[in-house]
Copies of this chain bind each other. A is one copy, B any other.
Amino acid sequence: MLYSFTNDYSEGCHPNILQRLTETNLTQQAGYGNDAFTLESVAAIKQLCQRPEVDVHLVAGGTLANLIVLGAFLKTYESVIAAETGHINQHEAGAIEATGHKIETVATPDGKLRPEAIRPLINKFPEYHTVKPRIVYISNSTEIGTIYTKRELEELSEFCRQNNLLLYMDGARMAMALTAQGNDLTLADIAALTDIFYLGATKCGGLIGEAIVLANVSLQKDFKYYIKQRGALMAKGRLFGMQFAELLRDNLMFELAGHANAMAQRMASQLQRLGYSFLTQSQTNQIFPILPDALITELSKKYGFFVWRKMPEGTSAIRLITSWATPQEQVDQFLQEVTDLSERLK
């Protein structure tokens, strides 16, 4: 295989992380997230949030972050509302239900939740025979590559506060969202408009680690118990601390995400020029072009990618993902291949 566009976690991490891990390897550090590198990364996140009062906790992965947060802040009879395409609903093997909670889903064409779609789920009759929604879960960027605008997030935030709902943002690809074309949100906005979010490193230049940010001060007490109880409190927290300490130095993470976005959008432009349409209007590093099956068959001999969904008239949508590490040459070579094949298979 020449190159894989299957996902954005095929490579390791930005070299700075490995270099500093190596340099500091033998320093003795406190365990369980009390090390100097975690403190450094917490400080960096607080600064980006422009809110010194937020609480920051680093855990290994996104599903772990989701199940810790939702398991912590839902009473047993409370539910979480999510888009049908939401990662917690589709790709976490029932992790949230395993904490005892129902996910109530909303069908949405672009993977984004809006107040009008949520309203029918609250004040359901009759009381105490149904679950009671308490958290609204959104992803930014979404699972299909779209992003929230500031206006959209403000409206959703306002709606949640009026309806006693907590707003939780899954930021596995937050860095991509915040560097996408059309984005007008900052991390400070997100800290102001949500109650909880997590900022992902794994898919944005790191090797491992997601930073859970408790922006709502009333949620912060005793949170470390939840982390420990789910097996997510790591003895050598220095490893997680180092990811964010390095990725947030001089905005490195956002540069890397910008590159990932640029590579995917470069693909999108050329594919559009070739006349292909797309399943979703992605602004970030994962795009879903609809290609003829014959073309897909040829491409898959040289390139790795995921066939997402059968479409009408002998076409399918495929998913192409780029990462911080995707070389432009690989993208261009791939596009050349598509161009040639499109010509040949006409």
Give the interface of A toward B (CB within 8 A).
3-4, 7, 9-13, 15, 18-19, 21-22, 24-31, 60-68, 71-72, 75-77, 79, 90-95, 97-103, 127-132, 202-203, 207-208, 222, 224-236, 238-239, 304, 325
The 6 closest A-B pairs by CB, nearest first: A64-B231, A12-B25, A77-B225, A9-B235, A63-B231, A10-B28
Known: A97-B102, A127-B224. 17 other contacts (CB 8 A): A9-B31, A9-B235, A10-B29, A12-B25, A12-B27, A60-B60, A60-B234, A64-B231, A90-B130, A93-B131, A93-B229, A95-B228, A98-B101, A128-B228, A132-B225, A207-B236, A230-B231
Q: How far is the CB of A8 from chain B (nearest CB, A)?
A: 9
| Total copies of the chain | 4
Interface centre among A12, A102, A227, A238 (most CB of B within 10 A): A12
Q: Assuming A235-B203, A236-B208, is B31 touching A230 (CB within 8 A)?
A: no
A76 touches B72 (CB 8 A): yes
A233 touches B63 (CB 8 A): yes
B102 touches A235 (CB 8 A): no
B31 touches A11 (CB 8 A): no
| Alpha-carbon distance A15/B24, docked complex (angstroms) | 11
Q: List 22 A-B contacts (CB under 8 A).
A: A9-B235, A10-B29, A12-B25, A15-B22, A18-B18, A61-B233, A61-B235, A63-B231, A66-B231, A68-B231, A72-B76, A76-B94, A76-B226, A77-B229, A90-B130, A91-B129, A92-B228, A93-B129, A127-B224, A202-B234, A203-B235, A207-B236
| Alpha-carbon distance A68/B77, docked complex (angstroms) | 12
B15 touches A28 (CB 8 A): no
Q: How far is the CB of A33 from chain B (nearest CB, A)?
A: 10
Q: Which of B75, B232, B304 contacts A64 (CB 8 A)?
A: B232
A91 touches B130 (CB 8 A): yes
> Which residues of chain B come closer than 8 Å to A224, judged between CB atoms?
127-128
A77 touches B202 (CB 8 A): no
| Alpha-carbon distance A99/B71, docked complex (angstroms) | 12
| Alpha-carbon distance A77/B227, docked complex (angstroms) | 10
Q: How far is the CB of A309 from chain B (nearest CB, A)?
A: 11
A100 touches B102 (CB 8 A): no
A230 touches B230 (CB 8 A): yes
Q: How far is the CB of A61 from chain B (nearest CB, A)?
A: 6
A12 touches B24 (CB 8 A): yes
> Which residues of chain B come closer than 8 Å to A67, judged between CB atoms?
230-231
A94 touches B229 (CB 8 A): yes
B12 touches A95 (CB 8 A): no
A226 touches B77 (CB 8 A): yes
Q: Which of B4, B30, B222 contacts A77 (CB 8 A)?
A: B222
B228 touches A63 (CB 8 A): yes
B128 touches A225 (CB 8 A): yes
A76 touches B66 (CB 8 A): no
B239 touches A207 (CB 8 A): yes
Q: Which of B10, B27, B63 contacts A11 (CB 8 A)?
A: B27
